[in-house]
Structure 1
């Protein structure tokens, strides 16, 4: 499976090019995950190098973090049973990355439940 298609690359690059705009807080474009264990990455941007993604990463240690991660390193991960990291084909970012980050901070892991994301969005709006 191609983890980041050309279409997704274009969307990620567009977000990266808009990063200096006031209020820049795009929704995640792509979700990558470990199909046999912990590990979820929600990416919003792709650097010019074509390898460095920015977004929210949760490696299963109870402390999801915003930051950069390497697409080539994620692609190189080899899992049991001949599996590899996969892209969630059904994922559609419905909230800005800050909402996913706030919800993950509260839950200690990346979550996608609308109720929890809406509560995180409301909390951010009150700040």
Structure 2
């Protein structure tokens, strides 16, 4: 993960948990913030839990906050408007992990549960 974020991470949205969350915390900048909305890596393996380096959390003063999407449904319209503006202006970038071909669907799906993916997972079925 360090190759993707050579200057560290200020804000991380997590819905995977496990090793992905551990890697993000290890690469967080001082006063980094983590929003946790799910732990898909634990849905099928209750024994697979994130083991955060709590020294990183303390020394870097990282804030970790869990939430449910329904808690913020009243902000959805405002979020869409802001997110679209940030994407168009380049203030926010999308990271995509693209697999090509229908034959990659099984491994892409399994990768969701292992935390193998950085960014949004897409399986491209047809050429553009």
Common topology (TM > 0.5): no
TM-score (norm 2): 0.24
Instruction: Specify which structure has the higher proportion of helix.
Output: 2
State which structure, 1 or 2, has the greater radius of gyration over its C-alpha atoms.
2
Normalised by the size of structure 1, how large is the TM-score?
0.24
